[in-house]
Structure formats: C-alpha cells, structure tokens
Amino acid sequence: MLPPTLRETPYPCGIIPTDIYIRGIKTTVRWTLSFGCLWMLLTTPLLVCAESNGCDFYGSGLEQDGRGVQPVYLSCSSGRVEWQYPRAGLRVILRSPHKDRDFQACIKGDPKFEGARVYLEGYRSLLPLFALDDGRPQELVRCFTSYKGQAALYVEAEPSADDLKKEVAAFDYDLQTLAKGKIYDPLEECRPCSEDEILRLYCSGDFVARGSIERVEDDSDLATTTITIRASKLFQQTSPVFRHAHARERDEKAWESAYGVSNSIRGGGGGVAEYTGRVDVPIQCGARAGEGEFLVMGVMRLGKPILRCAPRHSEWVKIAKAARANAQCVLET
C-alpha cells in the first residue's frame, strides 16, 4: 500500500514505474513482458467501445473477436470489473471522482477469477498485480497509487484450450482519495483519530459498537491483523459485522458468506445482549489487545470491515458530551 516515491519525470502511462506494495508489504517480483507485447498494447486499434456505467464494467471478450484492446473508463470511488470469456485485453482506466486528486487504489480478485492476468501500467513496462499463479493468496488485496489523478490496469487474457469454456475474470476495486499534495503513508492508518475524525466516523461509519477486545490474530500472508470484538452495545452497522454471540457460534460459515449483504441496524443496541464481530487493521499497525471497553468504528472496504478509530469508551463519553450541541447526528454512549 506504500506509494512509490513521486518523481518529476512525466510518465505518459500515468503510473510510477517502481515496486508495488501489497497491503503495506513491498513486492519485488515482476513478470517481464517483451517490448513487442507492450508496443502492441499501446498501438493496437481499439475495435470495441466499452459499455460501462462509470462505476462497473460487465462485458464479454466474444464481442472483441479476439483482437484489439478494449478501453474501460471508470470514475467512481468503488466498483467492479467482470469480463466473461476473456479475449485479447482490457485497458481499465481508474479516475478519482474528485477531479485531479490522486488516490490509493486497491483491487481484490473474485474467488472464481480465471482466464486472465492483471497488470499495472508503468513507464515502458507492465507491472504484475494479480494472477492465480503468482504465489500469493488469491484473497490478498493488491494496492497501488495513482499518478496525476489516474491509474491504468491492463487485463490480459490467457490462452485457452477450450474457446467455449466460460471463464470470468472479475475483481472489485476501491479508491481512497488522498489529501491534495500528499502521498500515501501506510502508517497513516495506524495513528490515533482526532476528535473531529471520531465524531465524523461515528455519524457516517459502516459500523459503530462499544465493546472489549477478545482476541487478536496476525495473518502475515494477507498482511492484516484480525481483532475479535465482544460488543455490549451496537450503535449501527450497514453489513452484518456484529452478530449475536450464540448465532455466530452456531453458524460461522453462514456469517462468512453474508459479508456485504445489507442488514442495516441503527439506533443503539440493548445493554444486555452481546454481539461478536471481527474487524481488520493493517498488520504494520502492530495491534494488540487492551483492557477495558472501546468504541470501535470503521468502514467496509472490498467486503471487509476495516477498523478506523477505537477510542476508549471513557474518552468517547467526554467527546460526545462536549460535542452534543453541534453534532451532525445523535451521539449515544
């Protein structure tokens, strides 16, 4: 997730040609493409116009007649690319909805992804981003930064022995806009939140709960730390991050498959009922269990609940009391 150092040299492809960072972990593995292959990518006539709603792309390589590179232009903060029967290639241009603002982008391959490889377009070369045989977990989130407000991905179809076999190369993407003039710093996700950030996230976050830390587990393969929270009060959630403890114990697999399904709960949970949930933080933050109760708040990103702020509950009570008169929403404790 670390961005390459910005340089003054203009990059016609729109991406900085250095190492890729996957969830804060630098990878130096590259797949080398011949200059002829890259020249074909940049000069092949575009035979097919992409059909897209600006956020998502759904298409079929059969419409490309096996030739040419199809352009796809996406300008939303999140969306999906789904390419059936991959043929030739796609050139996916990601642009921030905030004009001329750089962003950190992450993609996550679909569990049934097949039939293609994904590259990040660099200066005179293509940098490997995702492939089934790249030696990394398929569910690993792959991240990179834009240059001058855009990033370009090249999705290359792999040769298939059976032209009638239905293969689907699909991935979700998420863009996080950077402050003007700033570059992405992975440790930014680890610093304590300011009072303003806590108040804003309480009102707009995808999940907010009061609870204690039950377990902390590091996953070096996915570069994440998963924190299990036992919540005594659930304020809101837009996806089933927290569930009643007995329900989670009874049906863990069903809960896992339910990620991303809308199940909005707002307006304060009961003081007696308990909920359990798992939230993720980048492994470089070095999260560890702490005593007492916290207010855990975060967002859903690529189907996963990401912890953003976790002030102690006693601190939250003071913040809410001081801000109640001018708050953007009802502040409960």
- Domain segments of the chain as ranges: 20-185, 190-326
| Cβ neighbours for 211, distance < 8 A, ≥ 6 positions apart | 229, 230, 231, 232, 233, 275, 293, 294, 296
Output the pTM of the full model.
0.75
Question: What is the pLDDT at residue 16?
Answer: 35
In Å, how far from its chain's centre is CA 93?
Answer: 17
Given a cut of 90, whether residue 73 has pLDDT beyond it is yes
Size of the chain in residues: 333
Average pLDDT of span 111-124: 93
Question: What is the pLDDT at residue 100?
Answer: 79
Over the stretch 77-113, which tens digit does the pLDDT of each residue have? 999 999 999 999 999 999 988 887 899 999 999 999 9
Per-residue tokens: 247: 């329900």
Asked if 132 and 25 count as a contact pair (C-beta separation under 8 A), the reply is no
- H or E element in which residue 39 lies: helix 35-43
Question: What is the pLDDT at residue 183?
Answer: 82
Average pLDDT of span 264-278: 59
CA distance 59 to 71: 11
CA distance 145 to 203: 28
Question: What is the pLDDT at residue 47?
Answer: 37
Over the stretch 44-63, which tens digit does the pLDDT of each residue have? 433 344 455 689 999 998 88
Q: Cα torsion for 244, 247, 251, 252, to the nearest 10°?
A: 20
Asked if 198 and 316 count as a contact pair (C-beta separation under 8 A), the reply is yes
Confidence of residue 249 (pLDDT cuts 50, 70, 90): low
Given a cut of 60, whether residue 7 has pLDDT beyond it is no
Of 143, 206, 152, nearest to 176 by C-alpha is 143
Confidence of residue 18 (pLDDT cuts 50, 70, 90): very low
Over the stretch 211-236, which tens digit does the pLDDT of each residue have? 999 999 999 999 999 999 999 999 99
Query: What DSSP state is assigned to residue 63?
Result: G
Question: What is the pLDDT at residue 245?
Answer: 64
The CATH number of domain 190-326 is 2.60.40: no
Q: What percent of the chain has pLDDT over 90?
A: 59
Average pLDDT of span 327-331: 91
